[in-house]
Amino acid sequence: MAPPPPSPSMAPPGPIHSAPGLPDTCALLQPPAAAAAASMSGPAAETPSAIQICRIMRPDDANVAGNVHGGTILKMIEEAGAIISTRHCNSQNGERCVAALARVERTDFLSPMCIGEVAHVSAGITYTSKHSVEVQVNVLSENILTGTKKLTNKATLWYVPLSLKNVDKVLEVPPVVYSRQEQEEEGRKRYEAQKLERMETKWRNGDIVQPVLNPEPNTVSYSQSSLIHLVGPSDCTLHGFVHGGVTMKLMDEVAGIVAARHCKTNIVTASVDAINFHDKIRKGCVITISGRMTFTSNKSMEIEVLVDADPVVDNSQKRYRAASAFFTYVSLSQEGKPLPVPQLVPETEDEKKRFEEGKGRYLQMKAKRQGQVEPQP
Q: Are 137 and 47 in contact (CB under 8 A)?
A: no
- Is 252 annotated in the active site? yes
Pick from 217, 96, 81: nearest CA to 158? 81
User: How buried is residue 144: exposed, middle or buried, by Cβ count under 10 Å (0-12/13-18/19+)?
Assistant: exposed
C-alpha distance across the termini of the chain, in Å: 22
- Please identify which of the residues 252, 266, 273, 308 carries the catalytic annotation: 252
> In sequence order, what DSSP letters do the residues of 185-237 get, joined into one string?
HHHHHHHHHHHHHHHHGGGGTT--PPP-SSPPTTBHHHH-EEEEEE--GGGB-
- Extended strands (E) in the chain: 9-10, 51-56, 97-104, 107-109, 118-128, 133-142, 149-163, 225-230, 266-272, 275-277, 286-296, 301-310, 320-332
CA 84 to chain centre: 16
- Please identify which of the residues 63, 205, 207, 310 carries the catalytic annotation: 63
Q: Are 255 and 305 in contact (CB under 8 A)?
A: yes
Q: Are 296 and 342 in contact (CB under 8 A)?
A: yes
- Is 61 annotated in the active site? no
Q: Which residue(s) pair with 68 in the sheet?
A: 62
Pick from 349, 337, 259: nearest CA to 296? 259
AA letter at 296: T
Would you tell me how many other CB atoms lie within 10 Å of the CB of residue 123? 32
Would you tell me how many other CB atoms lie within 10 Å of the CB of residue 239? 15
Active site residues: 63, 252
